[in-house]
């Protein structure tokens, strides 16, 4: 079964170590602008949301690329960019529904998560496990458990009212 990067924003502390590790492992530079994962901060809510490529089944970035530089790598079960073919038009950046495709203005090329060829470094260095590399089928189980816990917690708090 395919593995995916699973993000649990409730665990993210906003340390942004994942961004630095990604940039260093890909480009050898400790510069978050070169990262394939971005940690967004929702100021009003006090939340940090790690955003990365979801490796979509019917990937809009793949479908919009005018030179077919983006393809599905079946062996590694990921969407890949052929940088020798890419013309840097940024069409893929504009259609990504998750905002996971980025453009590096220094190198003049798009940046997209490649799950580090099956050994994502952001997962390896995330102490709180806000980012994890898990079987795709396990995501539904995790989300179901979280939803059940929220319902249970809400029911328990209603029972304790007035006591």
CATH number, domain with residue 76: 3.30.70.20
Q: Are residues 42 and 6 part of one domain?
A: yes
Has residue 102 been placed in a domain? yes
User: If pLDDT is split at 50, 70 and 90, which confidence band does 83 have?
Assistant: very high
Q: pLDDT digits over 125-163, tens only?
A: 999 999 999 887 787 777 777 778 778 777 666 656 555
Q: Are residues 41 and 68 part of one domain?
A: no
pTM for the model: 0.80
Domain of 72, in residue numbers: 53-110
Q: pLDDT digits over 55-66, tens only?
A: 888 999 999 999
Higher confidence at residue 34 or residue 140?
A: 34
Q: Are residues 104 and 58 part of one domain?
A: yes
Has residue 42 been placed in a domain? yes
pLDDT at 26 over 70: yes
Token pair for 25: 């492992």
Q: Are residues 117 and 48 part of one domain?
A: yes
The pLDDT > 90 percentage for the chain reads 56
Q: Are residues 95 and 72 part of one domain?
A: yes
Q: Are residues 100 and 57 part of one domain?
A: yes
pLDDT at 30 over 80: yes
Has residue 146 been placed in a domain? no
**CA 14 to chain CA centroid, nearest Å:** 14
Has residue 32 been placed in a domain? yes
Q: For the purposes of burial, counting CB atoms within 10 Å of the CB of 17, is it exposed (0-12), middle (13-18) or buried (19 or more)?
A: middle
Q: Rounded CA gap, 80 and 116, in Å?
A: 11
Q: How many domains does the chain have?
A: 2
Has residue 149 been placed in a domain? no
């Amino acid at each position: 079964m395919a593995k995916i990067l699973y993000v649990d924003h409730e665990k993210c502390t906003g340390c942004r170590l994942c961004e630095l590790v990604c940039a260093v492992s890909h480009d050898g530079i400790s510069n978050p602008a070169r990262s394939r994962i971005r940690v967004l901060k929702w100021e009003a809510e006090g939340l940090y949301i790690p955003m990365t490529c979801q490796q979509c089944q019917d990937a809009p970035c793949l479908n919009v690329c005018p030179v077919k530089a983006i393809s599905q790598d079946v062996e590694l079960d990921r969407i890949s960019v052929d940088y020798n073919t890419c013309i840097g038009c940024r069409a893929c950046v504009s259609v990504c529904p998750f905002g996971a495709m980025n453009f590096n203005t220094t190198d003049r090329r798009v940046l997209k998560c490649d799950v580090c060829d099956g050994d994502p470094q952001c997962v390896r260095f995330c102490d709180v496990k806000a980012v994890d590399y898990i079987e795709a089928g396990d995501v539904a189980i995790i989300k179901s458990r979280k939803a059940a816990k929220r319902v249970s917690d809400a029911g328990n708090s209603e029972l304790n009212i007035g006591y």
